[in-house]
Structure formats: C-alpha cells, structure tokens
Amino acid sequence: MLSEFVKSADWKSEKHVPVIECAETVKAGDALAIAVTVGKEIAHPNTTNHHISWIALHFVPVGAKVSIEIGRCEFSAHGASVEGPDKGPAFTDSTLTIRAKLAVSGTLYATSFCNIHGLWSSEKAVVVA
C-alpha cells in the first residue's frame, strides 16, 4: 500500500512535514483561509537538487469514505539555469494558500513530495458550527 511510504513527524523538528494553519472552527458556508507550508520551523533547502515538488490539500468529511481534493500546487522554480544548478533567478517557496467553504466538519489532510525524501503528510480537524 502507498500509505507505507507516507512519512509524518513533528513539524517543529522535521523540515519535510506540511504544516496546516487555519481556524479550528468555522461557520457553515463561511470561507476558511488555509495555509500549508513545508519548512515552517526548519527551512527546506528548495534547491535544484533537493526541493519540494508539490503540496496537495484534501478534505474528508466526518463519516465519509473518500477524500475531496481542495487544491494542489506544483513548485517549478528551484534555481536551475543555463549557468548551472542553483544559479537561476527564481526559487519557489513551498507554501500553498487557499480558501474553502465547508458545509460539514471533517479533517484536512496535507501531503507534500520531496524529490529526495518522498511523501510527507499531516492532518488537522475542522469543526463546522
């Protein structure tokens, strides 16, 4: 199963864990601002040779059997250039910011992919009042 290869840890001590930041409670139908960051406490290098390729955010309503993908962001600029690795004019920062309207309570799941260290995940419960 793929779940055997998904890693998780305390984001305060591991730079690969996607950190979900949002309110824990929201009114039904109100926009919920959600930010997902990789390297929040310990910066991830995001270089040509070692970078976060993407972040995906899913929502699983309480009692549901499937997830709903809320958003996905691919990061393409890692400093590559014709002058060589890490000499380019642009480096992306591994942050996804999105707004979503939820009708029911559930759990947000963030996954991120490091080109060297693979898949990482985290989760956060959200109560819809």
The catalytically annotated residue of 12, 50, 87, 101 is 50
16 is catalytic: yes
End-to-end CA distance of the chain: 35
In angstroms, the CA 25 to CA 21 distance is 12
44 is catalytic: yes
The catalytically annotated residue of 40, 44, 58, 78 is 44
The catalytically annotated residue of 40, 51, 58, 114 is 114
Query: Residue 31: which residues within 8 A CB-CB, separation 6 or more?
Result: 99, 100, 101
The catalytically annotated residue of 4, 12, 14, 41 is 14
15 is catalytic: yes
50 is catalytic: yes
Burial class (CB in 10 A: 0-12, 13-18, 19+), 66: exposed
The catalytically annotated residue of 16, 40, 58, 78 is 16
In angstroms, the CA 74 to CA 12 distance is 23
The catalytically annotated residue of 4, 7, 12, 15 is 15
The catalytically annotated residue of 73, 117, 123, 124 is 117
Q: Catalytic amino acids?
A: 14-16, 44, 50, 114, 117
